[in-house]
Amino acid sequence: MRQLIAGNWKMNGLQAEAAALAAVLRDGADGLACDLLVCPPATVLAAVAAALHGSPVVVGGQDCHPEPAGARTGDVSAPMLRDAGAAWVIVGHSERRLGYGESNGLVRQKAQAAIAAGLTPIVCVGETEQQRLSGNAEPVVAAQVDGSVPPGFPGVVAYEPVWAIGTGRSASEDDVVAMHRCIREQLVATLGEGGAGVRILYGGSVKPAGAAALLALPGVGGALVGGASLVAADFLAIARAAARDALSNRAAPG
């Protein structure tokens, strides 16, 4: 299985910017050794999906409501994302867990809704700085995985330490490897054998400069990229750094 490089545009991208970014990605994405995904805001998702149609770049949403339709002012459902051209959706990003009080149970419901709508979910997990400093990073993240990933999970998990998101700080290589091993063990404990094949991405200030070293680490199945995904040249440079099998080293401890 190939590594996945996913771009999370967050609340960025007016129509013209999104179209310009999609056009450069479309031109630059041929021949990459990884899977490439962009997750634009819902308002431009259909336009970006149309612009990338027929290219290797697939499109996803950034969140979905657990219900398919109904009286939920302001929310976007998984079938709506699918209808707009999405094939993937991010759920449980820390900006939603912390900013909107989303629990593991809600994230799991969202992942289930995504799967029911034919979308592949990316379930995000990650500890706060305080949790890491107090020595609780691994139990916190393991509990997030166990509580957020539904049975038969066909998706991807993204490990994003909260303190590394948008800060320019990155987890050390040893910490990334140790946490990816911990997540793998929890996935197998939660899902059984199926947990061995789930790609685990790293996210948090991933930039072109450190991408090759990061993506070569044991257990790293790709990257979830925020800020650098808004700069087409940077995002493509990260994608070019991903050039090996995402699971080739899964037999390494975890």
- Looking at 85, 121, 195, 203, which residue binds ligand PGA (CB under 6 A)? 203
Does residue 239 contact residue 5 with C-beta atoms inside 8 Å? yes
- Looking at 111, 215, 224, 232, which residue binds ligand PGA (CB under 6 A)? 224
Nearest-angstrom CA–CA distance, 42 and 46: 8
Q: Is residue 137 a contact residue for ligand PGA (CB under 6 A)?
A: no
- Looking at 8, 104, 120, 131, which residue binds ligand PGA (CB under 6 A)? 8
Whether 53 is a known active-site residue: answer no
Question: What are the residues facing 201 on neighbouring strands?
Answer: 158
Nearest-angstrom CA–CA distance, 134 and 153: 31
How far is Cα of residue 115 from the mean position of the Cα atoms in its chain? 15
15 Cβ partners below 8 Å, 6+ apart?
44, 47
Q: Out of 65, 95, 160, 180, which one is annotated catalytic?
A: 160
Site string for ligand PGA, 31-70 (x = CB under 6 A): ----------------------------------------
> Which 165-184 residues touch ligand PGA, going by CB under 6 A?
165-166
- Looking at 205, 214, 246, 249, which residue binds ligand PGA (CB under 6 A)? 205
Q: Is residue 160 a contact residue for ligand PGA (CB under 6 A)?
A: yes
Nearest-angstrom CA–CA distance, 87 and 109: 18
Does residue 38 contact residue 77 with C-beta atoms inside 8 Å? no
Q: Cβ-closest residue to ligand PGA? A: 226
Secondary structure (3-state) at 76? coil
Q: Is residue 155 a contact residue for ligand PGA (CB under 6 A)?
A: no
Tell me which residues are annotated as active site. Answer: 93, 160
